[in-house]
Amino acid sequence: MNKSLNVQHGQGLSAQSFFEAMTKNQEKYKAYYDQFQWGNEEDRTFFESLNNRDDLCCYILAADWCGDVIRNVPAVLRALEISGIPTKILIQEQHMDLMDQFLTLGGRAIPIVIFTDTGGFVLGHWGPRPKYVQEPMVKFKQENTDKEATDYEEKLQATRREIVARYGEDTQYQQWIITELRDLISTF
């Protein structure tokens, strides 16, 4: 990633405006948001301590049709809302130039959580999934470079099923997101 990349994409949507504008998956999104729980007091304290910083902003590339957005953005927002970090959501389809600066394994995957300084210079990013959940896709992409192979789609579907299985039945995966965000933010 180009460290000198600058994100200046207007105001974006507030978390509430994004939720209200959702035409798909609104109930699931709200359920993941409402079910969020802090895994430990240390993480909560860390995110609350960010209120003392006024040098960070966050932009989230997202869309309401994406299952990973529906699962992951609620946890990101719950952490950031107590941090005081100004956060705006950018609809992927309206910001394709920015999306193309944050490709995952060569493709467009969301959500992408982008942290910047107040001038818009990128400090770091996270997404689209917790590392443990993303592992099957990384392995698939490494082992299946020929998209024309007869078994490509079959293997891709099996990989997607493994990703869903790794998310699990509950919201435990949200703690992985919190840990990864905390580790990232601690570097700047």
**For residue 19, what is the domain's CATH number?**
3.40.30.10
The pTM of this model reads: 0.93
Inside any domain, residue 146: no
Structural domain boundaries, residue 75 = 15-129+170-185
Inside any domain, residue 148: no
Nearest to 72 by CA among 174, 162, 168, 160: 174
Q: In sequence order, which ranges of 50-151 are alpha helices (DSSP H)?
A: 67-81, 96-99, 131-143
Inside any domain, residue 136: no
What are the residues facing 58 on neighbouring strands? 87, 115
Per-residue pLDDT of 83-109, as tens digits, reads 999 999 999 999 999 999 999 999 999
Structurally, how many domains does the chain consist of?
1
Inside any domain, residue 147: no
Per-residue pLDDT of 10-60, as tens digits, reads 679 999 999 999 999 999 999 999 999 999 999 999 999 999 889 999 999
